[in-house]
Amino acid sequence: MLIFWDKLNGKIKTHYYHKQYFFELLEFCTGIFEWTLPKGLDGKYIERYLNSSGCCALTKNDKGEYRLSLGGLEPPLDQYGIGTTWHGETLGGESCKGIVGESAAVCWHNSDHTPNLDIVPAADRLTEFDKSIWAVTRSARAMPISVAHDEKALNAFNDIKQQITDGEIVAILSENAMDDYQNAKAFEQIEFTKPEYNRLLQYLFEAKENEYRLFYRKYGQNMQTSAKHAQVNEDELEGADSVAFIVPRDMLEQRKRFCAEASRIFSDAFSLKFAEPWASEEIRYDADTEQQLAEAEQAAAEAEQAADAADQSEEVQEDGNIEQGNS
Domain ranges of the chain: 146-192
Four-point Cα dihedral 21, 22, 23, 26, nearest 10: 120
The whole-number pLDDT of residue 59 equals 97
Residue 68: its pLDDT value, please? 97
Helices (H), ranges, 103-245:
119-140, 151-165, 177-183, 198-218, 234-239
Rounded distance, CA 106 to CA 96, Å?
12
Give the model's pLDDT for residue 303. Answer: 86
* 247 within 8 A of 51, measured Cβ to Cβ: no
Give the pairing type, strands 271-274 and 33-36: antiparallel
In whole angstroms, give the CA distance from residue 210 to residue 22. Answer: 17
* Long-range contacts, 125-133 (Cβ 8 Å, 24+): 125/211, 126/17, 126/21, 126/208, 126/211, 126/212, 127/14, 127/17, 127/18, 127/21, 129/204, 129/207, 129/208, 129/211, 130/17, 130/208, 131/14, 131/17, 132/204, 133/201, 133/204, 133/205, 133/208
Q: In degrees, to the nearest 5, what angle opens at C-alpha 224 toward C-alphas 222 and 227?
A: 140
Question: Which residues of the chain, if any, have pLDDT below 50?
Answer: 177-178, 230, 232-240
Q: How far apart are CA 320 and CA 314, in angstroms?
A: 10
- How much is the pLDDT for 238? 47
